[in-house]
Amino acid sequence: MLFELNGQKQMLTIDTYKVEQFRDALAEASNITIMAHKHPDGDAVGSALGLALTIEHNKKCKVNIVLPNDAPDTFQFLPAYNRILSADRDKEACEAALMNADMIIGVDFNNAFRVEPLHQALTESKAIKALIDHHELPDEALFSILFSRPDFSSACELVYWVGKALWGDNCLTQDIARCLYTGINTDTGCFAYSNAQPSLYEAVAALMHYDIQPESIYNEINNNFSVDRMRFFGYCINNLLTINEALGYAYFTISLKDYEKFHLSDEDTEGLVNYTLKMKNIHVGALLKEQSDRIRISLRSKRDFDVNQFARTYFEGGGHIKAAGGTSYIGLTYTAHRLDQLLKEALA
Ligand code: 5GP
Ligand code: MN
């Protein structure tokens, strides 16, 4: 298929050789396990469930779906959500699903660090390992079949194109289309981010043939706050946001006590970091949140500042140019101070 990008005709291609490799591996496999990254977002959950359902739709088999953590309740509306095994609830069952599998397919992550505490089972399992992902620098030694495409908006979009290459229009049902649309919606900020290319809209056009009800999916994902969470966001914006308007950055610093005050958990900060970029003169935003043993960092950018590189260099993390994450072990106050210094230097 041809489309135009930066004035040049481009070909959207899914490597045929890899598709055939993947097809052969699927045909041979009798025990398949799909896994996505820890702290799963819409793309992780949507691509894992969508891929499981499309494989089951095209091959007589039952696929296991494992995640390092529970999937947020937000995604409860998705078909097959109840089939997800998580290491939070039953680590042994997740490890068994990985160790007993003859094929493991990773989605929406690029290396074993992103699936702790299941990284050991993933690396030690004798299964044939495939990856369908859109992050840079995949672990090429770990996965023998690799669909690694940072040029795609989301793992969900890539699952659609790989499924389409394998099974044509049979890659979709209404349930599969709803799963894939969910991850596309979250990873593109509902079609607002710069990671969308023409292939995305072609994929979405195909999904739309299955009566997926985009408005209801949008409401499930985005208009679902509890009253406490709404007030918590207000509190964070009023009290926990540092703004450096001259250099164009802002960040939230959220402690365990702050969640407790509102009877919330750290999951409830999902989406908060994006509020930093709502300010006209702010183009780099961050959110630091305290967890029991570490500080998690989310980074966002709306111009050309590469937060993937920044997270990789300073916070043992990574992600994409405009959305990345990382970790720090020096406490909340010191992490905030370090982040502030680093951003001052980088943006001065
Ligand atoms: P979020 O801020 O929403 O947690 O993550 C934004 C993006 O960065 C996602 O694509 C996520 O997969 C990626 N990401 C978040 N944390 C990490 C990390 O610690 N390491 C790497 N490599 N990527 C991360
Ligand atoms: Mn993704």
What residue type is 280 in one-letter code?
K
The pLDDT assigned to 7 comes to 58
Listed in sequence order, the residues at least 6 apart from 80 whose beta carbon sits closer than 8 Å to its beta carbon are 49, 52, 53, 65, 175, 179
Using the atom order of ligand 1, give the atom closest to the CA of residue 111: 22
Of 126, 133, 137, residue with least CA distance to 147: 133
Residue 252 pairs in a beta bridge with 241, 287
Give DSSP secondary structure letters for 107-161: ES--SGGGGTTSHHHHHH--SEEEEEE-SSS--TTT-SEEEE-TTSS-HHHHHHH
The pLDDT assigned to 10 comes to 55
Q: What is the pLDDT of residues 16-39, one digit of tens each?
A: 999 999 999 999 999 999 999 999
Residue 122 pairs in a beta bridge with none
- Residue 289 buriedness (CB in 10 A; 0-12 / 13-18 / 19+): buried
Q: Tell which one of 45, 69, 110, 114 to mutate to probe ligand 1, the residue whose CB is within 8 A of the most ligand atoms.
A: 114
Phi and psi of 272, rounded to 5°? -65, -40
Ligand in nearest proximity to the CA of 289: 1
Q: Tell which one of 41, 131, 277 to mutate to probe ligand 1, the residue whose CB is within 8 A of the most ligand atoms.
A: 41
Q: Which residues have any ligand 1 atom within 6 Å of their CB?
A: 37, 41, 114, 298, 317-320, 323-327
Using the atom order of ligand 1, give the atom closest to the CA of residue 135: 10
The pLDDT assigned to 195 comes to 85
Q: What is the pLDDT of residues 249-268, one digit of tens each?
A: 999 999 999 999 999 988 89
The pLDDT assigned to 9 comes to 54
Tell me 236's DSSP state: H
The whole-model pTM stands at: 0.93
The pLDDT assigned to 11 comes to 55
199 with 12: CB under 8 angstroms?
yes
Query: Token pair 């079609």 is at which residue?
Result: 191
- d(C-alpha 136, C-alpha 106), whole Å: 14
Q: Tell which one of 43, 133, 135 to mutate to probe ligand 1, the residue whose CB is within 8 A of the most ligand atoms.
A: 135
Distance from chain centroid for Cα 213: 22
Q: Which helix (H) or strand (E) holds 3?
A: strand 2-5
Three-state secondary-structure class, residue 105: strand
The pLDDT assigned to 184 comes to 98
Strands 145-148, 284-290: pairing is unpaired
The pLDDT assigned to 240 comes to 98
Which residue ranges of the chain lie beneath pLDDT 50?
A: 2-3, 5
Using the atom order of ligand 1, give the atom closest to the CA of residue 270: 3
Q: If you measure from the C-alpha of residue 41 to the centroid of ligand 2, how many angstroms do you get, rounded to a whole number?
A: 8
- By alpha-carbon position, which residue is closest to atom 7 of ligand 1? 324
